[in-house]
A = this chain, B = another copy of it.
Amino acid sequence: MSNQKLFHLAVVGATGAVGQQILRLLEERDFPIQSLKLLSSARSAGKKVAFKGEEIVVEEAKPESFDGVDIALFSAGGSVSKALAPHAVERGVICIDNTNAYRMDPDTPLVVPEVNVEKINEHKGIIANPNCSTIQMVAALKPLHDRYGIKQIIVSTYQAVSGAGQSAIDETLRQSKAVLDEQDVNPDMLPVGSLPKKHQIAFNAIPQIDVFQENGFTMEEMKMIRETKKIMGDDSIGVTATCVRIPVVYGHSESLYVEFKEDFDLAEVRSILENAPGVVLQDNMDEQHYPLATEAAGKLDVFVGRLRKDLTNEKALNMWVVSDNLLKGAAWNAVQIAEYIAKKS
């Protein structure tokens, strides 16, 4: 569009796994960019990153980096967002934050566009992007919640290592090769980089993502529990989560048990999900068709299948939800928010 407003954009954490996907999406979606500033920690500053055929030099992120910026997308870790987003907000920047820093802040909208896009308008400078494992779950469940009302969700996750960054991907591939070659695995990154104990991820399943809380749940599990209530705007939804890292590179899978307030018809559930925005139904037993991480990788949608009515509880639905954790779970959700802001401006 010729009279489309153009934006001064900044991407903080431009060299990270999510930052790279954000840049790719801005390029592919032809986001209306007047100028693009790539920011990072001092460590990555000076690197060159290609964007639309040009090379952009990554600069160290500082408060004054945000002068003249309209929209900034943060994905450089919670401490960077905590330190810099307030300075950006002071300078009138709208910040889309992909970290955990502001998600539960009552003044910060926590947005999955398919669920609560209108909350973007209530922002006071920062809009938070939810946790990857939460985003795909609520995107799949919102249309069902609207129709039947969700009483309780019990979720077990099968999470990809890319959620822990590029170094976790490298570590997983290195360990896998070591196992195949019958060499020592020497774990040194997962489950949590900052904690002393490391476990093998190759050919294993690690029931710990992020640090433990006093109540026995991990921070990742608490994110799913708290964020779901906030995004759905309904504190009465009971959520139980068990978050597990498995040796998959891209794509989180989730086994969900969902108890509704009302009885439901499975054919109607199917039809609701077929028509849900951002959701693709893959549910055909005869064809052995159901969502798979390897097939969801690289795609923007949330894939849903294995739909079946519970045999014990008539009001409960079982399902399998898969999405690319770096895309809908992070970069794409952030870019969707940016596109909404651009359209509204």
Interface of A with B (CB < 8 Å)? 152, 154, 156, 158, 173, 176-177, 180, 191-192, 195-197, 199-200, 203-208, 212, 215-217, 225, 238-240, 242, 244, 246-249, 253, 255, 257, 285-294, 305-313, 316, 318, 320
Contacts and interface: CB of A to CB of B under 8 A. Distances in A.
A226 to B, nearest CB: 10
Contact of A257 (B154, B204, B288, B307): B154
Contacts of A212: 285-286, 288
A222 to B, nearest CB: 9
B246 A158 contact: yes
Given A238-B313, A242-B320, A217 B308 contact: yes
Contact of A207 (B173, B195, B253): B253
A131 to B, nearest CB: 17
A117 B294 CA distance: 43
Closest 5 CB pairs of A and B: A216-B308, A238-B312, A156-B156, A156-B255, A197-B288
A240 B311 contact: yes
Contacts of A257: 154, 240, 242, 257
Contacts of A306: 207, 216, 242
A281 to B, nearest CB: 14
Contacts of A206: 292
A285 B212 CA distance: 7
A327 B238 CA distance: 37
Given A191-B288, A293-B204, A312 B152 contact: yes
Contacts of A286: 212
Contact of A307 (B216, B246, B285, B293): B216
A57 to B, nearest CB: 31
A176 B180 CA distance: 8
A40 to B, nearest CB: 28
